[in-house]
Structure formats: structure tokens, C-alpha cells
Amino acid sequence: MSLRVRFAPSPTGYLHVGGARTALFNWLVARQAGGTFVLRIEDTDRDRSTKEMVDAILEGMEWLGLDWDEGPVFQGAGVDRHRAQALQLLGEGKAYRDFTTPEELARIREEDPDRAVRYPRERFRSLSEGEAEERAAGGEPHAIRFFMPTGETVLFRDRVHGRTSFRTDTIEDLVILRADGSPTYNLAVVSDDAEMEIDLVIRGDDHLSNTPKQVLLHQALGNKVPEFAHVPMILGADGKRLSKRHGATAVGDYADQGILSDAMVNFLALLGWSPGTDQEVMSREELIRAFSLDRVVKKSAVFDPEKLDWLNGQHLNRLSGKALADRVLALLEDDLADEARRRWSLEPEWMDYVLDLLKARARSIDEIALKLRPYVAQEIAYEPEAVKKHWMKRPEEAVGHLDALHERLAEGVEDWTEARLEEELRALAAERGVGAGRLIHPLRLALVGEAVSPGIFEVLVAMGPHRALARIAAGATWIRSRIDRES
Ligand code: GLU
């Protein structure tokens, strides 16, 4: 029988990094085993669950490429079954009705917190036989609590934590059905996991303390108890639980920041797991092959944004051709994207050439899109610091160089190659009695509007003679207008 796992987010927030990592581990285990990955939306917290969050979670999963085989199943749809099972436990004497009012319980809790744990059971015992049924039939509000066995040890096997045990004496009789008739988390999860025939529950270790309760509920209901794997929390670099303070925590934000979904998946996989080799950059297929719960650690994982950027750069470099171009163009304004596409269709190798050039230095798609602008836009802005440094320190000289470059390169148009352009530029620098750098800096600024770019000859080739010459002329004109204004 094939392995069945599930991811069960509560739609009370976006798909955050921790949830996404849990989803990914489930997905990897399912795909590796040829099993079934079920998506269950735990929407029983009606007040805090919203449709917007459900959509955001589905979108986040889709972006990450974590396709599910069944669902989304909504937990709310199973409420009748949850209720019936609570009543079944009641009928079998494994649960009892608790008529304690919230006010009463609060008062006891204040007086004696220890007693508050046992109080509902004491009260139940003091009720005469049949009295509870009578009061319930009379419509008196009450919760249903599960009888925790006394003096027992609950044992379960956890794929990360090994054999784990809890003493039942430390656990209160848990409410399984609230006074308003709504099932609690622990009952709903147990009921649903059994209904969906889940074999292995992979989730955050913040649920470790719920597990003995769930194991006992499974046993009381006669279910096969699933296996568990509690994966470690994710902390920020400061050792605190990951939160907004550490930057984006919703995976959708990373999509917006130009992080590639492959890089995010790779990064998430390494939060708490490692392949045990030196290899860090891994594709989905490689992850599916290498993943193993046995190599998931108990210790909290640390979220390192630098590492995400680095991985993104690595995945970016693996991306090429149309896959890369489509992503980059999607981030440009319509007119620029149209212009890029036009150019691409006229010279099919052009886009590959430019993108290869830019991606070698970029860490995100956004950065590539930003750097692509000068190659497709009609006009560019000049970065003020670079203007001060490379044009306006000696504006006459800069204009002179740009004019001379324009003239010289306009003649070389027939053979617009890196080698030939370099030859021309170096010869011109020698003629003008300056080092090549003195021509290159003002030229770069004229071409791309800033002081950094890929190699200048590659930039010239990527831009093409027409646009490059126009840029050089525009740069010279710009400097001249400044000289005029200042004189
Ligand atoms: N809805 C729970 C959560 O988001 C799921 C816990 C579980 O996987 O059992 O934490």
C-alpha cells in the first residue's frame, strides 16, 4: 500500500517559511515513496480563518511547485463526523460531560492552578448517575472531555526524535467537543488523519506535546496510530523564533523579491535537513532522491537570508534561454518587455547573450530585470555619484573622450565584436595619451547610467552599434548642457 502523508495548514495567516518547509518535507517524502500527498485546510477556527488566506496558501504551494494529489479537503466539512466520534467516546465511557462554566474554571484556576487541571473530573465524579444525561437533555451547556488515564506512559515512535514518551499524569483531561458543539483541534486532527488513512504525520515540533493526546485518542477510537516526524523550529539569526522582524516570512514575499521557486525549495529543504554530502545546490529531482527523515535534526534550524540569496544566484546561473527570459521579461513594464521581445525575435541569440552576461553578476531575477533596462529602454537616467566622479570632475575631457569614441566606433560599425571594439578603444586611448580606463569609465556611464556593468566590450556588443552610439552621443550632449549651464 502506498504511503499517505498530509500537510494541514490553518488558514489564519499566509504560507510562511515554517509551513512551507513542513509542506516540502511531506511532499519530498511522498514523491520519493511514490505515495500520496494530501492537502487539508484546517479551517475549524472560524473567526480567524479567511478565504483570502486559503487562496494565499494554495498560491504559495503552487509557486513552490508542491503539487498535491488529494484535496484541498476542508476540515470544517468533517464536523459531523468529529461530533459523532466525541459522542461515541462518551457512550463508551472514555469521555465525560463537563458542566463547569468558564467563570467557575477561571476562579479555580486563580485559586489553585493545579486543582484546575483535575477539577472537571472531580465534578464529574460528584454527579450522580444519570444526572449528567438529564442536565444535558435539559439543554445545559457543557463540554465533552476525554478521560486521561492516570499513571500511564504514552509511547510513540518519532522519525526525528526517536522513541518518545509522555506521562499521562501531566496531561489534563482534554476537551474534545466545546460547549458550542465545535470539535477541538486534537479531536479533529485525529479523526481526519484516520479518515484519510494518513500513515505518517510530518509537522513542526511545536506539536510534539499534542502527540500523546492524539495517540490516546486514536487508540480510544480504535484507529491505527500513524507514525510521526516532528521537524525542528526555524529561528532567526538572533536565535529568536522566526518573525517579521527577520524580514519576509511569507513565501509569497520571496516570489515578489525575485527569488526563484527552485532556490526557495532548495533553501527550505536545508532548514533542518542536509544530504550528508558537500552538495548544497540541488534541484527538485535531486532533493527527492536524496531526502530522508533520518537526516532531519532535532536542533532548531537557523534562517540565513544570505544563504537564500546565494542559492538563488546558483539557481539563476543554472537557468537559461527561454525559461530565464520569460521570468525576467515578466518583471519589466509592458513597453520595455515589448521592445525586448521585438529585439529578441529579430536576433534570436541576442537575449541569451545579454541575459548570460547579466545573470553572472546577479543574485535575483529582479536584479537582472533592473540591469536589462539600459539595453532596451530608449532613455536612461544617470546615477548622480557616478556623474560626479566620471564626468563632472573634468567635464571637458569627458566630452572629448565621448566624442572621440563616437567617431571612432561609428567607423568600426561593420565589425561590432568584442575583440575589434577593444582594439579600437585601446588604440584611441593611446592616441589621446591616456590609459584605457579614462575612456572606459565615462563610456560605461553613458551606456548604462551607472559606474558598474559587465565588461565594457560585452556591454557594447549587447547594446549593438545603433543604441550604443546613440547613448554615447546623448551622454556627450548631457555633459555639454551642464558645462553651458555652469559657465
Ligand atoms: N493546523 C495545524 C497547524 O497548522 C496542523 C497541525 C498538524 O499537522 O497536525 O499547526
Domain made up of 384-486: CATH architecture? Orthogonal Bundle (1.10)
Tell me, using a 6 A CB cutoff, whether residue 317 lines ligand 1: no
Left if phi > 0, otherwise alpha if psi is -120 to 50, otherwise beta: which for 239? left
Tell me, using a 6 A CB cutoff, whether residue 43 lines ligand 1: no
**Distance, CA 178 to ligand 1 centroid (Å)?**
19
Q: What is the pLDDT of residue 44?
A: 81
**Distance, CA 10 to ligand 1 centroid (Å)?**
7
So which residues are the catalytic ones?
244
Tell me, using a 6 A CB cutoff, whether residue 11 lines ligand 1: no
Q: What percent of the chain has pLDDT over 70?
A: 99
Q: What is the DSSP letter of 201?
A: E
Q: What is the pLDDT of residue 1?
A: 61
Write the CB contacts of 420 (distance below 8 Å, at least 6 apart in sequence): 412
Nearest CA to ligand 1 atom 4: 9
Tell me, using a 6 A CB cutoff, whether residue 9 lines ligand 1: yes
Paired with 97 in beta bridges are 144
Q: What is the pLDDT of residue 83?
A: 97
- Closest ligand 1 atom to the C-alpha of 22? 8
Report d(CA 84, CA 45) in Å as an integer. Answer: 19
C-alpha cell at 14: 499566509
Residues (pLDDT < 70) of the chain are 1, 412-413
pTM: 0.82
Tell me, using a 6 A CB cutoff, whether residue 42 lines ligand 1: yes
Closest CA to 272 of 249, 239, 299, 251: 299
Spatial contact of 420 and 412, defined as CB atoms under 8 Å apart: yes
CA atoms within 13 A on the CB side of 77: 8
- Per the document, the length of the chain is 487
**Distance, CA 245 to ligand 1 centroid (Å)?**
23
Report d(CA 308, CA 260) in Å as an integer. Answer: 10
C-alpha cell at 143: 463540554
**Distance, CA 41 to ligand 1 centroid (Å)?**
9
- Closest ligand 1 atom to the C-alpha of 203? 8
Measured from the Cβ of residue 165, the count of other Cβ atoms closer than 10 Å reads 9
